[in-house]
Amino acid sequence: MTDSTPGSTHQAPPQQPVGMDKSAKDARRASLGSYVGATLEWYDFSIYSAASALVFPAVFFGGVDPALGTVLSYLTLAGGYVARPVGAILFGHFGDHIGRRRMLIITMILMGVASIGIGVIPSSATIGHSAAILLVALRLLQGFAVGGEWAGASLMSIEHAKEKRKGLAGAVVQTGGPSGGLLATGVFSIVTLMAPDQVIAWGWRIPFLLSAVVVIVAILIRLGVRESPEFLATQQNAPAATKRRAPLVSTFAENWLSVLLVILTALAPFFVQSLSTTFALQFAVDHGNAESSTLSMLTIANFFTIISTLAAAALSDRYSRLAVMSTGFIVSGVLVWVAFALFSVTNLWAVLLGFVILLPIGNGLITGPLAAYMASMFPVHNRFTGVGVSYQLAATISAGSAPLVATGLLSAAGGHTVLLTTLVSVLAAIGLVTVILSRKVRPA
């Protein structure tokens, strides 16, 4: 499958189909561009998550009861997830028709515009309900951009990689999540060292405005990345009927079972990720842990998640995606009980261990191979759409609802976490079953 002329991709024009010749240099460039872009996209998305838990109830919903303000803030967080499948459909359509590269530049620009815009919205004390309306609108734009980002970035990295390194290539993009989270919580940890009234007045805006610099850097890197060689080869060889058919139509006509299995597989890790960065963060603070110190513990856990994600992906390349992901589902389903017991203790070391259990240990084993697993479930001609729509539907259902569901279950259980931890265990069990079943439905 590999071109017999070493380094031949370096003499070809940028848009010339290069078959399966994936030089090491091209693969590294594609992975770097995808990683940096994904990190910056998820930095923007993560600072919104942190702000929705710690700041937005007071800034944009200050005129209502604090508990209701928190719920309304979480609803804006969920609103961004609702827009993500729409972004996945639109960017997937054009990504499967005209290429992955162009779509990734557009998603980066949109994400930057949304995040910078959020950073300059006046508070509700200044412009009343218009502040919340603007917040929701920009949050929807954020979600729309992320809807196309993850699939495109993952496929650019995976489709440039050799077969035995696709897991690691996908994980490089996956580490954009914890890397962005690491950067976001690190910045917010510094901001929360300010006096509380200064944080509410203007300090929270700093992380959002910093996006102006990093977005420019990410765009410059992506402009230097070649189009996916697998996409170019498919475009050259695909029958005319396949090219004319809408990718969304072909995805659900030919690969509907893959969509279903991928969604069910992704529910648990997405729920846990969202739970950790919103509800669990506030839960630990409510149990007597300092806000800035708790954010620091989450930052440390995100650092270890980067390492565990790459290690899990490397293991999946050497052994199998099934073995590594199955282990992750079992670990997550069991140890979530321990994690929330630790969050209820007024001790930062206990909080750190709780975050480490949820993110590097449990989620790392699942999310490390996840991108390569998803890509393997769809043929190249509708892969952007299939991966993007499946991923974002799972994120909308699971991650988007996690803070609200967790808050409701905590209230229903009288302040105890038994219903919440049971739900996580059930989602992990579902993921274990579906990842096993996935072996039977992958395209040839």
Q: What is the pLDDT of residues 200-222, one digit of tens each?
A: 888 889 999 988 887 888 888 88
In a domain, residue 302? The reply is yes
Residue 155 pLDDT: 94
Structural contact between residues 184 and 207, judged by C-beta atoms closer than 8 angstroms: yes
Cα–Cα distance measured from residue 291 to residue 416, given in angstroms and rounded to the nearest whole number? 21
- Does the structure show a pLDDT above 60 at 309? yes
pLDDT at position 240 over 80: no
For the cut 50, the answer to whether the pLDDT of residue 2 exceeds it is no
Sign of the dihedral through C-alpha 40, 391, 76, 401: negative
- Is pLDDT at 253 greater than 70 in this prediction? yes
Residue 35 is assigned to a structural domain of this protein? yes
Determine phi and psi for 289, rounding to 5 degrees: -90, 140
* pLDDT surpasses 90 at 320: yes
For residues 358-380, give the mean pLDDT.
94
User: In this predicted structure, which of 41-50, 115-124, 351-360 has the lowest mean pLDDT?
Assistant: 41-50
Round to whole Å and give the CA distance between 295 and 204: 14
pLDDT at 315 over 80: yes
Sign of CA dihedral 278, 170, 315, 436: positive
296 within a domain of the structure (yes/no): yes
**What average pLDDT does the segment 7-18 reach?**
42
pLDDT > 80? residue 387: yes
Whole-number percent of the chain with pLDDT over 90: 45
Please say if the pLDDT value at position 331 is more than 90. Answer: yes
Would you give the distance in Å from CA 112 to the centre of its chain? 16
Residue 243: per-residue pLDDT: 58
Cα-based angle 392, 395, 399 (whole degrees, multiple of 5): 160
Does residue 337 fall inside a structural domain? yes
Number of H helices, E strands in the chain: 23, 0
* Of 18-27, 128-137, 350-359, minimum mean pLDDT range: 18-27
Give the type of residue at 1.
M
Residue 352: domain span: 23-440
Does any domain span residue 1?
no
Q: How far is CA 383 from the centre of its chain?
A: 18
CATH number of the domain within which 374 lies: 1.20.1250.20
Number of domains in the chain: 1
Residue 87's pLDDT is: 94
pLDDT on residue 11: 41
What percent of the chain clears pLDDT 70, i.e. is strictly above it?
A: 93
- Please report whether residue 14 resides in a domain: no
Per-residue confidence at 444, pLDDT binned at 50, 70, 90?
low
pLDDT at 296: 86
pLDDT average, residue stretch 376-383 = 93
Contacts of 154 (CB under 8 A, 6+ apart): 34, 170, 173, 174, 371, 374, 375, 387
* Predicted pLDDT at 18: 45
Beta strands in 59-154 (DSSP E): none
On whether residue 4 sits in a domain, the answer given is: no
Q: Would you mind telling me the total number of residues written for the chain in this entry?
A: 444
Q: Count Cβ atoms within 10 A of the Cβ of residue 1 and give its class: 0-12 exposed, 13-18 middle, 19 or more buried.
A: exposed
Output the pLDDT for position 91: 96
Give the C-alpha distances (Å, rounded to integers) separating 228 from 152, 251, 370: 10, 20, 19
* pLDDT recorded at residue 151: 92
d(CA 331, CA 337): 11
One DSSP character per residue, 368-408 reads HHHHHHHHHTS-GGGHHHHHHHHHHHHIIIIITTHHHHHHH
Q: How confident is the model at residue 7 (pLDDT cuts 50, 70, 90)?
A: very low
Look at residue 242 in the predicted model and tell me its pLDDT: 54
Q: Does residue 6 fall inside a structural domain?
A: no
Comparing C-alpha atoms, which of 371, 406, 384 is closest to residue 174? 371
pLDDT at residue 317 is higher than 90: yes
Q: Residue 3 pLDDT > 80, yes or no?
A: no
Average pLDDT value for residue range 398-407:
88
The confidence band for 33, taking pLDDT boundaries of 50, 70 and 90, is confident
Kindly report the average pLDDT of the chain as a whole number: 86
Q: What is the pLDDT of residue 8?
A: 38
pLDDT in tens, 148-186: 988 999 999 999 888 899 999 999 998 987 788 778 877
Amino acid at 418: V
